[in-house]
């Protein structure tokens, strides 16, 4: 068994976002149906959450189901929804016991009523927890979120509650589904793909992006530690030149 190397000096990133990719390829490589990869991916979620807690990460956002994923075969979508039910019913007590707060972002209008109820109950139960906030991006799309936020602000202006001059980056961010959550410091994508696929388009403006070849079902604490090591090697200037620091 490989021994994890110690993390470099410095605080861990406050907020880590992960695009969990590769479940289908993991299954195909083993001659299994794609649904087997999704089930195995749930185990990787547990490992990532435990590792994040151990490393002192305060926010962990997981891209679990995009708005585009509704276009997948009906049987696959149905299986993913069943896995979501399983997770919400079977894991919430453990999350609560370990001080994890759950937040779910995305368009809930396409979810079944029982799933919405499970989400509401889980969010309510864990609302006061402070060890770590787990954000699940479900039926989520970054462009859709920005469009929805723009509509909300436009309605406020139309109603006379806001002036156009009141709208700045901070005001806009307050209408996003991630309001009150710091923007990610680090975004990891598994499976070797090098794109963000409509994920947190506003929030990732200054995040460090790390792409790893590991397929999501094989993702371990060591992979997370390696990504954080890469994060610590980066020079984060937030658009400022070296000379201005």
Q: Per-residue pLDDT tens for 74-99?
A: 999 999 999 999 999 999 999 999 99
> Which H helix or E strand runs over 223?
helix 221-233
The candidate with the shortest Cα–Cα distance to 227, out of 207, 211, 205, is: 211
Q: What is the pTM of this model?
A: 0.92
Residue 176 maps to a domain: no
At residue 233, the pLDDT reads 93
Residue 6 maps to a domain: no
Residue 95 maps to a domain: yes
Residues 31-36: what's their mean pLDDT? 94
Q: How confident is the model at residue 11 (pLDDT cuts 50, 70, 90)?
A: confident
Alpha carbons 65 and 70: distance in angstroms, whole number: 8
Q: Are 46 and 90 in contact (CB under 8 A)?
A: no
**Is the per-residue pLDDT at 31 higher than 50?**
yes
Cα 88 to the center of its chain, rounded Å: 16
DSSP-derived secondary structure letter, 149: H
Diameter over CA atoms, the chain:
63
Q: Assign residue 64 the CATH number of its domain.
A: 3.40.1180.10
Residue 1 maps to a domain: no
Residue 158 maps to a domain: no
Looking only at the bridges linking them, the beta strands covering 15-19 and 208-211 are: unpaired
**Is the per-residue pLDDT at 10 higher than 90?**
no
Alpha carbons 65 and 77: distance in angstroms, whole number: 9
Both tokens of 90, joined, read 């079977």
Q: Over pLDDT 90: what percentage of the chain? A: 91
Q: What are phi and psi of 159, to 5 degrees?
A: -80, -5
Q: How confident is the model at residue 5 (pLDDT cuts 50, 70, 90)?
A: very low
Alpha carbons 60 and 136: distance in angstroms, whole number: 8
Classified as helix, coil or strand, 102 is strand
Q: How confident is the model at residue 72 (pLDDT cuts 50, 70, 90)?
A: very high
Both tokens of 111, joined, read 């979810």
Instruction: Report how many domains make up the chain.
Output: 1
Annotated binding site for Mg(2+): 21, 208
At residue 241, the pLDDT reads 56
Annotated binding site: 21-26, 34, 38, 66-68, 70, 72, 189, 195-197, 208
Active site residue 21: yes
Alpha carbons 71 and 90: distance in angstroms, whole number: 27
Residue 3 maps to a domain: no
Helices and strands per DSSP (H, E), number in the chain = 8, 6
Residue 242 maps to a domain: no
Residue 32 maps to a domain: yes
Domain that holds residue 129: 15-141+184-233
């Amino acid at each position: 068994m490989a021994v994890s190397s110690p993390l470099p000096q410095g605080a861990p990133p406050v907020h880590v976002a992960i695009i969990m990719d590769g479940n289908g390829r993991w299954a195909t490589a083993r001659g299994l149906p794609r649904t087997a990869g999704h089930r195995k991916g749930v185990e990787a979620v547990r490992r990532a959450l435990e590792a994040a807690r151990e490393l002192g990460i305060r926010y962990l956002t997981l891209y679990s189901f995009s708005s585009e994923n509704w276009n997948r075969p009906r049987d696959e979508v149905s299986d993913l929804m069943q896995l979501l039910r399983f997770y919400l019913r079977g894991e919430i007590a453990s999350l609560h016991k370990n001080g994890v707060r759950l937040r779910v972002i995305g368009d809930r209008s396409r979810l079944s009523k029982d799933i919405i109820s499970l989400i509401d109950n889980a969010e309510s139960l864990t609302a006061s927890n402070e060890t770590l906030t787990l954000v699940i991006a479900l039926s989520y799309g970054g462009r859709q979120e920005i469009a929805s936020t723009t509509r909300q602000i436009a309605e406020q202006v139309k109603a006379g509650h806001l002036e156009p001059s009141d709208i700045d980056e901070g005001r806009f961010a307050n209408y996003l589904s991630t309001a009150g959550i710091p923007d990610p410091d680090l975004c990891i994508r598994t499976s070797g793909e090098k794109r963000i696929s409509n994920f947190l388009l506003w929030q990732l403006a200054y995040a460090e992006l790390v792409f790893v070849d590991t397929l999501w079902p094989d993702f371990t604490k060591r992979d997370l530690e390696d990504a954080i090591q890469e994060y610590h090697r980066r020079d984060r200037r937030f658009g400022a030149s070296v000379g201005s620091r």
